[in-house]
Amino acid sequence: MAKMGKYCKAYPIERFREYPGWAEKARPVNKGHLYLQENYVVTEGIFLDEEIVFDDVTPEWIEFCQETLQFRVPDFKAAPQKATAS
């Protein structure tokens, strides 16, 4: 069964290809957008553990994602609560 992560973000494939160490697993990807998962693995779909395109997660890759792609996993615990009417 596919595992859904808590957060992923879609980027055009060209953005990922800017990374010098980028290498697509197995077959060339023809999709326009790929998903960067919360664990820094890139997939073709929204599921965390299926259709993996890139999983060479190194400190350099994480830095590229954070600095170049501006990828940040939201802190859902710190999200402001909506006020309710009394």
Q: What is the mean pLDDT of the chain?
A: 89
pLDDT above 80 (res 15): yes
- pLDDT tens-digit series, residues 67-81: 999 999 998 786 566
Q: Give whole-number Cα distances, 40 to 17, 35, 80, 85, in Å.
A: 15, 9, 26, 40
Other CB atoms within a 10 A radius of the CB of residue 36 amount to: 21
Domain ranges of the chain: 8-74
pTM: 0.83
Other CB atoms within a 10 A radius of the CB of residue 61 amount to: 19
Residues, the chain, total? 86
User: Would you say 71 and 9 are in contact if contact means Cβ atoms under 8 Å apart?
Assistant: yes
What pLDDT band is residue 65 in, cutting at 50, 70 and 90? very high
Segment of 16-20, 26-30, 72-76, 78-82 carrying the highest mean pLDDT: 16-20
